[in-house]
Amino acid sequence: MSDFTSSFWSIFVAAISLLGLVYCVFLLWFSAKIHVGHVGDDGTTGHVWDEDLVEMNNPLPLWWLGLFIITIVFAVVYWVAYPGLGSFGGKLGWTSAGQYDNEVAKANQALQPLYAAFDAQPVEQLAGDAKAMAVGERLFMNNCSQCHGSDARGSKGFPNLTDGDWLHGGSPEKITETITKGRIGQMPPMAAAVGTPEDVRNVAHYVLSLSGSPHDSVRAALGKPKFGACAACHGNEGKGNTAIGSANLSDKIWLHGWGEEAITAMINNGKVNQMPAQEGRLTPSQIHVLAAYVWGFSNKPEVAPQAK
């Protein structure tokens, strides 16, 4: 990775650009200085192709030379004004990121009257506003569907937002907080705390038993005492703790896979999950609408039709 962040590539790009311009200037000068050895009185060089195609020794048209020179001058002016020579930023200070930010700011300003009406409504009420939900759907598709899916049902490692099961709580306030600040979920490797590999397998079966999933009852009984190492986060009954984002192990909802193998791997290796914060990418008004849209997945509000 350091190869791409070093100054070499900046120097390489600048050198290629400058060499290309120097070559164009040299080509223009060379074409003006070169002389053909034998030119007849009629201006021909004596070269004939296909019996009647005669090569002439005419100079380049002035309009072509003018355009060539203008192109060279334009390149020099562009390099001075805009970033085109490696890491040189240009005198105008233009950047693609800056232009993007300006365009986003203009778009947000134009949409502010629309969002002002949404801001006045609480999440529960906004979730029933068809116009707001149409905006929320676009926000979700552009910013959330890449992980949670276009239907919000998630996949392995990415939570299902439609089932009412929330690691950090499903209230409007918690959903807004999650979207705004993001989340980092971490389960440390617990194999050393649980005991031997056999103990880990036994705990896996005990975890399966908590939700009534198929399991080995003998192993589950042996694993129950060892589950104490996990109870600090998941609780004695395995129902989890939304205050710290620990999963409910008793509801048959498995974020990272189901079965002895998946649970054993989780105990042995732990897991780190991260949802990126949308603060800074989305405005508070957009987050408010998006929170209402996400809240509506598991609460199914009655959506009022849009006014025509």
Residue 91 lies in a domain: no
pLDDT in tens, 19-48: 999 999 998 888 877 766 666 677 677 778
| pLDDT score of 62 more than 80 | yes
Token pair recorded at residue 170: 């499903």
Q: Are residues 157 and 131 in the same domain?
A: yes
Which of 97 and 307 is assigned the larger pLDDT? Answer: 97
Domain co-membership, 294 together with 170: yes
pLDDT interval class at 92 (50, 70, 90): very high
Answer whether residue 36 is part of any domain.
Answer: no
User: Do 169 and 208 fall within a single domain?
Assistant: no
The pLDDT of residue 56 is above 90? no
Query: What does pTM read for this prediction?
Result: 0.72
DSSP 119-155: HTS-HHHHTTBHHHHHHHHHHHHHHTHHHH-TTS--B
The whole-number pLDDT of residue 69 equals 93
pLDDT, residue 1, reads 47
Residues 225 and 107 in one domain: no
Q: What integer pLDDT is reported at residue 4 of this predicted model?
A: 57
Task: Classify residue 90: in a domain, yes or no.
Answer: no
Domain hosting residue 132, numbered range: 101-182+276-299
Residues 139, 281 within the same domain: yes
Question: Quick one: pLDDT at residue 36?
Answer: 64
Residue 6 lies in a domain: yes
- Tokens 């949409």 -> residue: 111
What would the pLDDT profile of 227-281 be if each residue is shown by its tens digit? 999 999 999 999 999 999 999 999 999 999 989 999 999 999 999 999 999 998 9
Confidence of residue 99 (pLDDT cuts 50, 70, 90): very high
Half-sphere exposure of 240 (CA within 13 A, CB side): 20
Mean pLDDT of all residues in 144-164:
94
> How far is Cα 308 from Cα 294, in angstroms, rounded to an integer?
25
Question: Residue 226 and residue 206: Cα distance in Å, rounded?
Answer: 9
Looking at the fold, whether 267 and 293 belong to one and the same domain comes out as: no
Q: How confident is the model at residue 303 (pLDDT cuts 50, 70, 90)?
A: low
Stretch 43-65: mean pLDDT, rounded? 80
The answer to whether position 92 is within a domain reads: no
What pLDDT sits at residue 45? 75
pLDDT at 146 exceeding the cut of 70: yes
Contact between 174 and 295 (Cβ < 8 Å): no
Q: Which residues contact 58 (CB under 8 A, 6 or more apart)?
A: 43
Q: Is residue 241 part of a domain?
A: yes
Q: Report the mean per-residue pLDDT for the chain.
A: 90
Residues 6 or more apart in contact with residue 281 via CB below 8 angstroms: 143
51 occurs within a structural domain: yes
**pLDDT at position 176:** 97
The tally of domains found in the chain comes to: 3
Same structural domain, 199 and 264: yes
| CATH value at residue 270 | 1.10.760.10
Tell me whether residue 154 is in a domain.
yes
Residue 308 has pLDDT above 50, yes or no: no
